[in-house]
Amino acid sequence: MERFGRRAARVGAAGLAAALAIAGCSGQALEGNDSSTEGGQVTLKVNFWGDMGLDQLKAKYEADHPNVKIVLNSGEYNAQHEDLQKKLVAGSGAPDISAVDEGFIVQFRSQADQFVNLNDKGASSFESKYLPWKWQASQSTDGKQIGLGTDVGGLAMCYRTDLFKAAGLPTDRDAVSKLWPSWDQFIETGKTYTAKTGKKFVDSATNLFNPVLSQQPVGFYDQQETLQMEGGPKAGFDVAMKAIDAGLSANLASFQPNWDQGFTKDQFAVLACPAWMLGHIQKTAPNQAGKWDIAAIPGGGGNWGGSWWTIPKQGKNVDEAYKFVEWLVQPEQQIEVFKKVGNLPSQPELYQNKEILDFKKEFFTNAPTGQIFATTAANLKPQYLGKKNGPTRVAVENVINRVQQGQLKSADAWAEAVKEAEKASKS
């Protein structure tokens, strides 16, 4: 989803995670669980971020289940995860259903006793339908399943064809893909664009850091939960610093108002695009239909974001909550969400479904989004993310943002990022 988006996402004021994306965040105040059962009427509160395609699905479900009222609470990406953690510690106030992003799933599955074991509700029948790694990612070491997967964040690159044309760059998606087989060539393309237009090339250096990081064999942590900053994080950080030093970044914090304004005011021409990002672009800049297209991402592959629906055990209506979650992950709903906002299902059988394979997104110059993202998903080699992945990513993105804002020199930034990551790993 969005994750950022994606998914990815944004992670506090720090950038995206994990996407994540997530998509457009409402920034609503987080409230306690007001779910209730009155006179046979059940109210289910659902916490999430961005655009997960729930508006239309809510109306459909309520029409078929007149005793159920769905309350959608869209909030800021990082705040939703932090709030869930606080409510689990407090023992009350959690929503009936909570989305959890890939950047936080290990953290929450290690608290499996706080969630309904969905296998007890019959979820084990879904195991064969999911990508194996997606199913395993939300399963505790003792076999409890805390979530059913919504989507995966296979990566591509979204770009503005009109802005590329004005800069004398090719606009055809295959030709654009050939501009940047590597991240160094992507940076060089950005320098060409900026030199010809005087405008920034990318939205934010944090949104380069995350996809580069996701392409590496090891992310912030290895499977022994040891911080590994010199591998994947260093690779992503170096690309982010190159973009900042070259003057390519518009320095916009993801999922904040100025980031959304950046879309509508043409402040950047390209951004990393997990499948869930498509919905955010459409929602934020509806007048730009036909001005966007989708190319391959430099470096190839990678996963950024993708979420699960979880049910905190403290809820009063866990049976009704499970029925809704089970309904959400059925093929019909998964395909509808894909067509509406772009979130790619995490059930590989659907990648062969004609409704997905033949689908073209008119907004993105009729890009065959089904084929583009189904191919990336099938080839995904996901990282182990670690229990402290979310807070660690926030800490490093905060450092990148300080460089973008002129508060820290890029030459000093890596040492600062390592220091802040180490703090987060021990918190």
pTM exceeds 0.95, yes or no: no
Q: pLDDT of 263-289, one tens digit each?
A: 999 999 999 999 889 988 998 999 999
What gap in Å lies between CA 354 and CA 379, rounded to an integer?
Answer: 19
* pLDDT band, residue 327 (cuts 50/70/90): very high
259 has pLDDT over 80: yes
pLDDT for the residue 304: 84
148 has pLDDT over 70: yes
Return the H-helix or E-strand segment holding 407: none
pLDDT for the residue 24: 33
255 has pLDDT over 50: yes
What gap in Å lies between CA 189 and CA 270, rounded to an integer?
Answer: 11
More confident position, 201 or 16: 201
320 has pLDDT over 50: yes
State the chain's mean pLDDT as an integer: 89
Q: 144 burial class (0-12, 13-18, 19+ CB within 10 angstroms)?
A: middle
* Domain layout of the chain by residue ranges: 38-152+306-352, 155-302+366-426
Superfamily of domain 155-302+366-426: Periplasmic binding protein-like II (3.40.190.10)
Q: What percent of the chain has pLDDT over 90?
A: 76
For 326-345, the DSSP string reads HHHTSHHHHHHHHHHH-PEE
Which pair of tokens denotes residue 311? Answer: 């049910």
Q: Confirm whether 38-152+306-352 and 155-302+366-426 share one CATH topology.
A: yes
More confident position, 37 or 259: 259
Q: pLDDT of 24-53, one tens digit each?
A: 333 344 444 555 556 589 999 999 998 899
Spatial contact of 298 and 182, defined as CB atoms under 8 Å apart: yes
What gap in Å lies between CA 157 and CA 268, rounded to an integer?
Answer: 13
Distance of CA 55 to the CA centre of its chain: 19
Burial 327-357 (b: 16+ CB within 10 A, else e): ebbeeebbbbbbbbbbbbbbbbebbebeebe
248 has pLDDT over 70: yes
What gap in Å lies between CA 52 and CA 57, rounded to an integer?
Answer: 10
3 has pLDDT over 50: no
SS3 string of 85-115?
HHHHHHCCCCCCEEEEEHHHHHHHHCCHHHE
Q: 422 burial class (0-12, 13-18, 19+ CB within 10 angstroms)?
A: middle
Spatial contact of 51 and 3, defined as CB atoms under 8 Å apart: no
Fold (CATH) for 38-152+306-352: D-Maltodextrin-Binding Protein; domain 2 (3.40.190)
Q: What percent of the chain has pLDDT over 70?
A: 91
Positive or negative, the Cα torsion across 240, 164, 374, 150? positive
pLDDT for the residue 257: 84
Which pair of tokens denotes residue 427? Answer: 């918190």
Interval 188-215 mean pLDDT: 96
pLDDT for the residue 319: 97
Three-class secondary structure of residue 372 per DSSP: helix
Nearest residue to 14 via CA among 340, 226, 178, 240: 240
Q: pLDDT of 97-140, one tens digit each?
A: 999 999 899 999 999 999 999 999 999 999 999 999 999 999 99
The position carrying tokens 């804002």 is: 405
Return the H-helix or E-strand segment holding 295: strand 292-295
Q: pLDDT of 361-401, one tens digit each?
A: 999 999 999 888 888 777 777 788 899 998 999 999 999 99
